[in-house]
Amino acid sequence: MELTLNTPALLFPALTLIMLAYTNRFLAISSLIRNLYREYEKERTDMMLSQIYNLKHRLRLIRDMQVMGVLSLLSCVFSMAFIYFRLQTAAQWIFGLGLLLLAGSLFVSVYEVVISTKALNIQLSNLEEEEKDKGFLATKLFSKT
């Protein structure tokens, strides 16, 4: 298989958009951590502490996603350089490595979304229990339709 300069170049727009999405996640999590930490200083609860630990874990995952995304982008750049210097075999291996890094980044992204969803579901179930205890019509609000 002959690799042309266009093949690795095709990934640049996709990788750029992925990195933008990862950066937005990072900024959102950072903001949540700062706000939660301020609340935790005022009133320390176990739930807040567990949320902070969850966010810390998610922050590490986002860092890993970003590192793999950047390495994937660099692999595409190096692959293009090897193509330019007519080192086809090296270019193919480096491009393959870039694809694997991109796939790894996406898998970690899916894992982070799953963790995020579980944390939100736990918080919503706690809210549902509190509202049921108050006699609120939580069944209509929290029904699984």
Q: Cα torsion for 45, 46, 49, 55, to the nearest 10°?
A: -120
Q: Given the structure tokens 């193919």, which residue do they identify?
A: 92
Give domain status of residue 130, yes or no. Answer: no
Residue 98 lies in a domain: yes
| pLDDT, the chain, mean | 89
pLDDT of residue 140 exceeding 80: no
54: containing domain: 6-108
Specify the number of domains making up the chain. 1
How would residue 132 be classed by pLDDT, with cut points 50, 70 and 90? confident
- Nearest C-alpha neighbor of 19 from the set 78, 101, 89: 101
| 143 occurs within a structural domain | no
For 11-67, the pLDDT digits (tens) are 989 999 999 999 999 999 999 999 988 998 999 888 788 888 889 999 999 999 999
Burial 60-87 (b: 16+ CB within 10 A, else e): ebbebbbebbebbbebbebbbebbeeee
Q: Please tell me the pTM assigned to this model.
A: 0.82
d(CA 98, CA 70) in angstroms, rounded, equals 9
Residue 15 in any domain: the answer is yes
